[in-house]
Amino acid sequence: MRKKRVIAGIVTSALLSTILIKNIAFAAYTVDGVSMQPTLKEGHHFYINKLTNRFNKIERFDIVVFQMPGEKQVLVKRVIGLPGEKIEYRNDKLYVNGKYVPEPFLKKNKEKVYGNPITGNFTLKEITGKEAVPEKCIFVIGDNRLNSRDSRHFGFVHEKNVIGEVKP
């Protein structure tokens, strides 16, 4: 009888631990849309680490899931700009604080447009009115630059709205 209680206690503890870890540390999502193609295709299922932005610093080119204030839908985009950085696109190239930064993950998308630009020219000041990314904020863009609603449209994403990081 005592052995059954111990086993039941272990099973219950394991189930509760699994539920807690799943709800606190990880979340499952499905890509809805084409804004991150070809990196993440529509219908692609993935898990995010919800502890990333609590314990690890968000870095350039991380793929993050976030929620815009007042919206239910979550979005998945790539981090391009970090707090304090000046972002500019010129001739389809990313410049951070005036220095060119290659974006190798865009190679497939650039091949599809036969030499035409996929990212239009802009500076942060032109599209947001700010010289640099504000503190505790990030600037995000979808990999499918021609079909993405991102920071070029809705502005900066506050770090408190970041749910977690995607590891494709």
CATH number at residue 68: 2.10.109.10
- Alpha-carbon gap, residue 97 to 78, rounded angstroms: 18
pTM (predicted TM-score): 0.83
Instruction: Encode the chain (168 residues) as per-residue pLDDT tens digits.
Output: 677 776 766 767 666 656 655 556 677 888 889 999 888 899 888 888 777 555 578 999 999 999 987 888 899 999 999 999 999 999 999 999 999 999 999 888 877 777 788 899 999 999 999 999 999 999 999 999 999 999 999 999 999 999 888 876
**Domain assignment present for 21:** no
Does residue 6 sit within a domain?
no
pLDDT of residue 117: 85
The pLDDT value recorded for residue 76 is 94
**Backbone angles phi and psi of 117, in degrees to 5:** -70, 145
Which residue matches tokens 């010289």?
131
Report d(CA 149, CA 158) in Å as an integer. Answer: 16
Contacts of residue 137, defined as CB under 8 A and 6 or more positions apart, other chains included, come to 83, 156, 157, 158, 159
Q: Is 17 within the bounds of a domain?
A: no
Residue 1 resides in a domain: no
- Does residue 115 form part of some domain? yes
pLDDT of residue 54: 57
Predicted confidence at residue 24, as pLDDT, reads 63
Residue 19 in domain:
no
Q: How many domains does the chain have?
A: 1
- Catalytic residues, by residue number, are 35, 77
The sheet carrying 74-81 orders its strands as 26-30, 45-49, 162-166, 63-67, 74-81, 137-141, 157-158
Domain of 31, in residue numbers: 26-166
Residue 135 domain flag: yes
In a domain, 136, yes or no: yes
Q: What is the pLDDT of residues 82-100, one digit of tens each?
A: 999 999 999 999 999 999 9
